[in-house]
Chains A and B, each alone.
Chain A
Amino acid sequence: MNGDWVNILNFAVRRIVTSVLLIASVVSVVFFMVHFAPGDPLSSMLSPTISASAAEATRAHFGLDRPVLDQYSIWIQNCLRGDFGISISHGRPVRELITEFLPNTMLLAFVAIVVEFIIGTVLSLVAIRRHRKIGGRFVSNTGLLLCTVPTFWVGVVLAGVCSFLLGILPSSQMHSIGAEDLSFAARLADLAKHIVLPALTIAIPGSAIIARYLTANLTRLQNEEYILFARSYGLKKKRLFCSYELPNAIAPLITFFGLELGTLLTGALVTETIYAWPGMGRLAVMAIGSRDYPLVMGCTVVAGAVVIIGNLIADLLYMLVDPRVRIKG
């Protein structure tokens, strides 16, 4: 047992150190990318008719005349403090904007993951239970198709059918106009109505992937010795499934959710643009549209950090759940 904990600690420390290094690399890549890009952050702000000396003075004011390494060390220090400067297009600190928009993305991502997991599990159970019947085959074939359907097309079609043609669900924003005046319960219902379409857009392709993954795991488990043993021991089918097969098939999904976080954030770029959801993805897309350097840099660094930390947490959780990973270290 003692050696076990040493292993866990060893693995955790190593994973944390790599994650910190990875985040540091993302921070550096973003800095040098901006540095080597044509033009500089001020070129979109300065009028072409401005005098050269005034332009120089402005550059000096923002520290753009300093040596690269100086600028780099300032950037690192500011990143450590969570200070990404002031957004050009919003006129507010980038940190404030991100702390305002990131929770909305997290809410959407959380709902999407839950929906995805439920749909995926149900689909996979149908596929497994009836794999020789038409229903099961239908599920696995459409599952394959749904894995490859582009998220943004799902979004466009869902928005088009559900809100433009049928008019049953709202197609944009998080709240209706005037929602501030409603009671708490009514506001919650309003939010729930707004979140359905974006969450489904993210969850439909994702659930197909989960279903395929889970089905493959469950099928593979059928040949494992401990399952064969439990079956020959006379364990009831239901008991076997609930306490042996399902947990072992679901456990690897923890790392899948870690990876899924990256997909979700990337998908958020598209989904939030379609549904005008006030989250990180939309913030980033709008920032690019207005060439808002501090905001683009801030969003990229934060998105990278969130994904890396998410992967780290998923790996650590998986290690706690599955003892085999611990032994390998």
Chain B
Amino acid sequence: MNVLALFRSHPKSWVLLCLLLISIGAPLLAPYDPVAQADLRTSRLLMPLGHGLARGGSPEAQPDVGSPANNISDPSDSRHAIFLLGTDNLGRDVLSRLLYALRVSLLIGMGSMLLSLFAGVLIGIAAGMSRSGVLDQLLMRMVDLFLSVPTLFLVIAVVAFFGNSTSLLVLVLAGTGWMTVARLVRGEVILLREMEFVLAARMLGRSDWRIILDHILPNILPTLVVSSVLQLGNVILAEASLSFLGLGVQPPTPSLGNMIGESLAYFDRGWWVGIFPGIVLTLIVFSANTLAENMQEQLETGRSAQGASAI
């Protein structure tokens, strides 16, 4: 699947790409430090486009926490500022927090998406290529087990018992997504391994590893692209739910979920704090889901066209 052709035929991929670029450029785009508090006497819960006193300048110029310059009672380095999306309850700029939250959410989402994809492919190929069938049965029953328990319950139990570091979060979220990938990959592998070109490769004495790398993987790649996009949306949503409950990304680090969670306490006075992260989150999940759906349709029509020409 050509990357350029992908962008040309799927407008939604532009949305995802833009969000990705924005999140990469967050330090340049953010007008303020995401955790720096503006003057608390004048700048708490300012409406979007509100004016107030900001503290410090760009993130680079931000003094260390605890240095006298960051002290509330010292107004000398305050300056007049506009907050495009307003400020939150602690006087932090919502736009800057949103940009950094996008970064955090996408980073965790991508990390666990890649991890679950890796695990899913590994397990799917192992199950699909197993000759005896015992391994296949064993792995697929494991998939069934993980699919049938309410995963978020297990995830919060893990987070509760093992603590919530970011790396653990990535690992645990990956644990909720590998099953569907494994099932999908296994199905494809079972079809592929009986195909003539794979049988021919085997007759030529190619080892299993070479067959997997040269023949199986390239052929399941389109399916993997589709399921990785779908996976990304799901994982970001799951991370947001966890952070919303206060079990994921911990404050003061902003994430889309914990921004919405924090806003719940003062929604009547500061609706903008929770609304904007929700819109961004919906945009990500919506474009990821529809993109995956469109690509899947394209893949299926492509396959049936191929099948027709083969006959």
B290 contacts A by Cβ under 8 Å: yes
* Residue in B157, B160, B267 whose CB lies within 8 Å of A159: B267
- Digit string of B195-212 for contact with A (CB within 8 Å is 1, else 0)? 000000000000000000
B128-152 CB mask vs A (1 if < 8 Å, else 0) is 0000000000000000110011111
Q: In whole angstroms, what is the CA distance A38 to B159 when docked?
A: 12
Number of interface residues of A (CB under 8 A): 48
Set of chain B residues within 8 Å of A210, measured between Cβ atoms: none
**CB atoms of B245 and A273 under 8 A apart:** yes
* A144 and B264 contacting across the interface, CB-CB below 8 Å: no
Interface: B240 (CB within 8 A): yes
Q: Within the assembled complex, what's the spacing in Å between the Cα atoms of A156 and B258? A: 12
A33 touches B158 (CB 8 A): yes
6 contacts between A and B (CB under 8 A): A149-B282, A150-B282, A159-B264, A269-B241, A269-B245, A293-B161
In the complex, A107 has a CB within 8 A of chain B: no
Residues in B neighbouring A257, C-beta threshold 8 A: none
B183-191, B273-281, B295-303: which lies at the A interface? Answer: B273-281
A38 with B163: CB separation less than 8 A: yes
Known: A38-B162, A285-B245. A157 touches B268 (CB 8 A): no
Majority SS at the chain B contact face: helix
Give the chain B neighbours of A89 by CB distance below 8 A: none
When distances are taken between beta carbons in the complex, the residues of chain B under 8 Å from A135 are none
Least CB distance from A158 to B in Å reads 10
Q: Does A105 contact B (CB under 8 A)?
A: no
**B241→A270 contact, CB < 8 A:** yes
Q: CB within 8 A of A22: which of B148, B151, B246?
A: B148
- Is A30 a contact of B241 with CB atoms below 8 Å? no
Residue from the list B156, B237, B271, B281 in contact with A269, Cβ < 8 A? B156
Residues 276-329 (chain A) with a chain B CB within 8 angstroms: 284-285, 287-289, 291, 293, 296-297, 299-300, 303-304, 307-308, 311
Determine the distance from Cα of A144 to Cα of B268 in the docked complex, in whole angstroms.
29
Interface of A, helix, strand, loop or mixed by DSSP = helix
**Any chain A CB within 8 A of the CB of B154?**
yes
Q: Which of A26, A33, A284 contacts B161 (CB 8 A)?
A: A33
Min C-beta distance of A84 to chain B, whole Å: 13
Chain B minimum-CB-distance residue to A307: B150
Q: Is the CB of B153 within 8 A of A266?
A: yes
- CB proximity of B46 to chain A, nearest CB, Å: 18
Known: A149-B282, A156-B274. A307 touches B149 (CB 8 A): yes
Determine whether B113 belongs to the interface, using a CB cutoff of 8 Å to chain A: no
Residues of chain B within 8 A of A148, CB atoms compared: 233, 237, 282, 285-286, 289
Contact A152 B149 (CB under 8 A): no
Q: A71 → chain B, closest Cβ, in Å?
A: 16
CB–CB B152/A269 < 8 A: yes
Cβ of A265 under 8 Å from chain B = yes
Contact in complex: A288, B156 (CB < 8 Å)? yes
Q: Does B260 contact A (CB under 8 A)?
A: yes
Contact of A157 among B153, B158, B275 (CB under 8 A): B275
> Quick check: is A50 within 8 A (CB to CB) of the other chain?
no
Task: List CB contacts (< 8 Å) of A241-277 with chain B.
Answer: 262, 265-266, 269-270, 273-274
Decide: A160 near B157, CB < 8 A? Known: A22-B145, A150-B285.
no
Question: Which among B159, B260, B275 is the interface contact of A152 at CB below 8 angstroms?
Answer: B260
**Bound-state Cα–Cα, A153 to B240, Å:** 10
Task: Establish whether residues A160 and B268, one from each chain, have CB atoms under 8 Å apart when the complex forms.
Answer: yes
Question: Nearest Cβ distance between residue A151 and chain B, in whole angstroms?
Answer: 8
Beyond the given A153-B260, A156-B263, A293-B161, please list 9 additional residue pairs across the A-B interface where CB-CB is below 8 A: A33-B158, A149-B282, A150-B237, A156-B260, A262-B149, A262-B150, A269-B241, A270-B244, A296-B157
Q: Contacts A26-B149, A153-B278, A270-B244; is A160 near B289 (CB within 8 Å)? A: no
Chain A residues whose C-beta falls within 8 Å of the C-beta of B286 in the assembled complex:
144-145, 148
Task: Tell me the bound Cα distance from A157 to B281 in angstroms.
Answer: 14
On chain A, the residues within 8 Å of B163 by CB distance are: 38
- Give the docked Cα–Cα distance between A145 and B12 (Å): 13
B150, B263, B271, B289: the one within 8 Å of A265 (CB): B150
Chain A contacts for B145, CB-based, 8 A: 22, 25
A272, chain B: closest CB distance, angstroms: 11
Q: A284-B156, A300-B153 are in contact. Are A153 and B282 (CB under 8 A)?
A: yes
* Chain B residues near A18 (CB-CB < 8 A): 144
Q: Contacts of B264 on A, CB cut-off 8 Å?
A: 156, 159, 274
Q: Does B36 contact A (CB under 8 A)?
A: no
When chains A and B are docked, how far (Å) is the Cα of A273 from the Cα of B271? 19
Q: Which residues of A contact B260 (CB under 8 A)?
A: 152-153, 156
A110 lies within 8 A of chain B by Cβ: no
Indicate whether A226 reaches chain B with its CB closer than 8 angstroms: no
Q: Does A37 contact B (CB under 8 A)?
A: yes
Q: Are B153 and A269 in contact (CB under 8 A)?
A: yes
A262 / chain B contacts, CB cutoff of 8 Å: 148-150
B99 at the interface (CB under 8 A from A): no
Residue of B nearest to A288 (CB): B160
Residue of A nearest to B268 (CB): A164
Q: Tell me which of B149, B156, B240, B282 contacts A304 (CB under 8 A).
A: B149
* A296 CA / B237 CA spacing, docked (Å): 23
CB closest chain-A residue, reference B160: A288
User: In the complex, which residues of chain B have a beta carbon less than 8 angstroms from the beta carbon of A33?
Assistant: 157-158, 161
- B153–A303 touching, CB < 8 Å: yes
Q: Is A165 an interface residue (CB 8 A)?
A: yes
Task: Let me know if A147 is at the binding interface, CB within 8 A.
Answer: yes
| Max chain A Cβ within 10 angstroms of own Cβ: one of B163, B233, B264, B290 | B264
Contacts of A274 in B (CB 8 A): 264
Report the minimum CB–CB distance from A79 to chain B (whole Å).
15
